[in-house]
Amino acid sequence: MEIFVNKAIHNGIINYLNDTNNFNKIHLFEFWVVKVLARIYDEINIINPYKLGKEDIFKNNLLIYGMNDKEIDSFVKYMNEYNTWLESSNNSKTNILNKICEILINMILAKSDEREISSEDLAFFNSFFIPTDPELIKIKKLTTDDLDMIPKLWERKKAWFTQNIVLEVKPPELLSPEDYKRYGLSIDEVKQLSNLKIREINDNILKEDAENVEGGRTNTKDEPLKLVLTSGSGFVDTVVLLSIMATEIMIGLLIAFWFLRR
């Protein structure tokens, strides 16, 4: 088969397709680059043009998130220069890898403007730009003296699309409306509270129910269940205190009106 785009990209795709079978470690970096491209643009947009022998489609697919022709041409050029360095007998240090990685980071940033970067993809990108693979680290050490440039750049740039990522907090499960009603609460009121307060109320209700069961107490219409307001729940204690204060204020106002009418 003819060389696809250039030797570096061609060898990277070959290794990507072989993966663990007949894997050529000489082309490990190119393999990682293609894996990154497949994560950014989806595998079908990277591998299908290769299988069809359509270099123009491959390059056009790298433009879909807003990269310009000059940037893609530079990427292809740097990949070719890396292959030249790899095949050279004079393997002096070069900054080609850093230039390639910088363009890959820009590709990820461009995608983040259009689509959310998943936590799985983010972890994968971390493993490339801040490598833990001993073989990949070895290649980077052989290639460049500036090993900190890309990790620092990646940490700084990824803040643009990770600042809105928040940990998903699982809300507490609500009890049945009847459970809350037995304690003088409506489920709509409970839904307006914070997760912490809901958990406090749920714990109090479940604790009270458990104590009633252990004590052989049953709920009847003449004997409604009551929450223990001094159980340590700051929320419940606050509600009781505010209720008492409101009652005292109302009594004070009624007394004042009574004196004024005399």
User: Rounded to the nearest 5°, which phi and psi values hold at 221?
Assistant: -65, -30
For residue 1, is it within any domain? no
Rounded to an integer, what distance in angstroms lies between the CA atom of residue 147 and that of residue 153?
11
Last residue in a domain, options 162, 193, 208: 162
Is pLDDT above 70 for 258?
no
Cβ atoms of residues 93 and 143 within 8 Å: yes
Question: If you average pLDDT over residues 216-243, what whole number do you get?
Answer: 51
For residue 19, is it within any domain? yes
Question: If you average pLDDT over residues 216-236, what whole number do you get?
Answer: 49
Last residue in a domain, options 162, 186, 206: 162
- Give yes or no: residues 140 and 194 share one domain: no
Two structure tokens written together for 206: 């479940």
Number of helices and strands in the chain (H, E): 14, 0
Residue 240 has a pLDDT of 54
Give the domain extent around 62.
Answer: 7-162
Residue 200 has a pLDDT of 76
Question: If you average pLDDT over residues 32-60, what whole number do you get?
Answer: 94
Helix (H) or strand (E) holding 205: helix 195-214
Cβ atoms of residues 184 and 243 within 8 Å: no
- Give yes or no: residues 211 and 236 share one domain: yes
- Give yes or no: residues 28 and 84 share one domain: yes
pLDDT category of residue 90 using cuts at 50, 70 and 90 = confident
- Give yes or no: residues 96 and 16 share one domain: yes
Rounded to an integer, what distance in angstroms lies between the CA atom of residue 151 and that of residue 128?
9
Cβ atoms of residues 60 and 74 within 8 Å: no
Two structure tokens written together for 175: 């009890």
The domain total for the chain is 2
- Give yes or no: residues 97 and 132 share one domain: yes
- Give yes or no: residues 78 and 192 share one domain: no
For residue 184, is it within any domain? yes
For residue 185, is it within any domain? yes
For residue 168, is it within any domain? no
For residue 170, is it within any domain? no
- Say whether pTM exceeds 0.75: no
Helix (H, G, I), strand (E, B) or coil at 173: coil
